[in-house]
Amino acid sequence: MKGGTIQISWHDGKPVLTLDFHPISGLLATAGADYDIKLWLINSGQAEKKVPSVSYQSSLTYHGCAVNTIRFSPSGELLASGADGGELIIWKLHPSETNQSWKVHKSLSFHRKDVLDLQWSPDDAYLISGSVDNSCIIWDVNKGSVHQILDAHCHYVQGVAWDPLAKYVASLSSDRTCRIYANKPQTKSKGVEKMNYVCQHVIMKADQQRGDETKTIKTHLFHDETLPSFFRRLSWSPDGSFLLIPAGSFKVSPTSEAVNATYVFSRKDLSRPALQLPGASKPVVVVRFCPVAFKLRGSSSEEGFFKLPYRLVFAIATLNSVYIYDTECVAPIAVLAGLHYAAITDITWSPNASYLALSSQDGYCTLVEFEDKELGEAVSISVGKKPVDGEEKKHDLEKGDELMTETTPDESKKQAELEQNEESKQPLPSKITTDGKEKEHIMQKTDDEVMTETRHEEENQPLQSKVNTPVSNKPARKRITPMAIDP
């Protein structure tokens, strides 16, 4: 594994707010505060034993505001970009014999304020977006119109995700709640079913006991709006068995200090976290699963929490570092720190799992290149079939207090019945929302407070990584170990 911060003029020195790999060609798209979307070709550095480099390909110019999120559709034929002021554009690929060009296909207008995150449905037909106007919108891309508005949040929606099995969508907000919506189709007069998402879970607080006392107190599971980032991007696993949610703030006991955490939700129970990954010194703002599954390493150790027939790899980005995990190990397989002078804004994996890229408000991007089969031997995933058993293993590690997430009273009975009838057949992952903040304030705060100690002096300097090692020298070694949560 080699990598480093590529010190070129990505977006005229302005913050790079988002990036994504094309699922077919592997081109890297970046966007930021200069209003443009740029496409880059990744050049491997393995032959020269150097960090990878990039070659500029083209720019997509249309937006008149900062671009906060870009995502390619699963087929690679479309690109969605969300920007300040509610701008949401669909770009379409126009291939030719000599080159490929992207042109504006549709402009989706309804959001009144900045679009912070978006995600495609598995079939390219729909798109979900989250905005500073406190709403999520599900768009019918073919018609270019609003299909459904989800407006239950009372603060910024900073993260959205679409279940790869097309059953659920999730939203994370700075109102300190995560909402899970289930698709309950409505039948039209012609007998055609219309997609309709209904809120199934509102994840907000945890019930914790006071030592030996019978009384419990409620503590929030997520950071409030003071979190110095306007992104809280969550991610489903490629097989749909797990949902990974950032911006967690977990207390081991009512009197202890809150620990920054990432929550893992099993598809079997989307009402509460199945696992929490603590230990980050800064809040977690972005999580992303690698799209490739890998063959089990065959370790005889019983440390893993996930019962899967393959290994999944995922990256967790805090404001100033990246943790890389796989589902066969308890501790992270790598910790990358000291990469940027300002907050990390987005992360993405290449379609063949050769590269991990991250963007930052300091105007630079970092590329990490993995050697052939360094992460393992790739295997196929049967997405669309019955999800694999995502139940976490029992473990001898210290376990957290029981977590009980709140649901609205009028929903709880319906949810219980739905879970028995449907989730017994298909376990489902869940998501959690985080807090938002005005960009102008965040930019100032991250510039002042989120300062990493070092930056690579040379582009070809290898990226520092630590295996199974926490960032700080305090009791972080214990804190970074995932903890199973009792049912």
* Angle in degrees, CA 324, 325, 326, rounded to 5: 135
Q: Confirm whether 467 is domain-assigned.
A: no
Question: Which structural domain range is residue 172 located in?
Answer: 2-274
Q: Confirm whether 437 is domain-assigned.
A: no
Taking 60 as the threshold, does the pLDDT of residue 158 lie above it?
A: yes
Taking 90 as the threshold, does the pLDDT of residue 37 lie above it?
A: yes
Q: Confirm whether 95 is domain-assigned.
A: yes
Q: In terms of Cα–Cα distance, which of 274, 238, 287 is closest to 399?
A: 274
Q: Confirm whether 469 is domain-assigned.
A: no
Half-sphere exposure of 262 (CA within 13 A, CB side): 33
Taking 70 as the threshold, does the pLDDT of residue 11 lie above it?
A: yes
Tokens of 370: 């993995």
* Angle in degrees, CA 376, 476, 276, rounded to 5: 60
- Mean pLDDT, residues 283-307 taken together: 85
Please tell me the predicted confidence (pLDDT) of residue 343.
96
pLDDT level of residue 256 (50, 70, 90 thresholds) = confident
Q: Confirm whether 239 is domain-assigned.
A: yes
**Most confident of the following: 176-180, 431-435, 480-484:** 176-180
Q: Confirm whether 50 is domain-assigned.
A: yes
The C-alpha atoms of residue 16 and residue 345 are separated, in whole angstroms, by 7
* pLDDT single digits (tens) 79-109: 999 999 999 999 999 988 888 899 999 999 9
Q: Tell me the average pLDDT of the chain.
A: 81
pLDDT level of residue 242 (50, 70, 90 thresholds) = very high
pLDDT level of residue 441 (50, 70, 90 thresholds) = very low
Q: Which residue has tokens 């949401």?
A: 88
pLDDT level of residue 251 (50, 70, 90 thresholds) = confident
pLDDT level of residue 299 (50, 70, 90 thresholds) = low
Cβ(279)–Cβ(456) under 8 Å?
no
Please tell me the predicted confidence (pLDDT) of residue 303.
60
The neighbour count for residue 171, using CB atoms within 10 Å, is 29
Taking 70 as the threshold, does the pLDDT of residue 308 lie above it?
A: yes
| Sign of the torsion formed by the C-alpha atoms of 357, 230, 109 and 188 | positive
The C-alpha atoms of residue 342 and residue 411 are separated, in whole angstroms, by 41
pTM, to two decimals = 0.80
What is the C-alpha end-to-end distance of the chain, expressed in Å?
Answer: 38
Please tell me the predicted confidence (pLDDT) of residue 212.
59
Taking 50 as the threshold, does the pLDDT of residue 328 lie above it?
A: yes
Please tell me the predicted confidence (pLDDT) of residue 404.
38
Question: Distances in Å between the alpha carbon of 421 and those of 260, 408, 427?
Answer: 35, 20, 11
Taking 60 as the threshold, does the pLDDT of residue 376 lie above it?
A: yes
Q: Confirm whether 161 is domain-assigned.
A: yes
Taking 80 as the threshold, does the pLDDT of residue 24 lie above it?
A: yes
- Residue 248 sits in a domain of what CATH number? 2.130.10.10
Total structural domains within the chain = 1
The C-alpha atoms of residue 330 and residue 318 are separated, in whole angstroms, by 19
- Mean pLDDT, residues 175-196 taken together: 90
* pLDDT single digits (tens) 198-237: 999 999 998 876 665 667 888 899 999 999 999 999 999 9
Q: Confirm whether 363 is domain-assigned.
A: no
Please tell me the predicted confidence (pLDDT) of residue 301.
53
- Mean pLDDT, residues 59-74 taken together: 97
Tokens of 101: 């060009």
Question: Distances in Å between the alpha carbon of 485 and those of 252, 393, 396, 425, 434?
Answer: 11, 10, 12, 23, 21
- Mean pLDDT, residues 441-454 taken together: 33
**Residue 45: what residue type?**
G
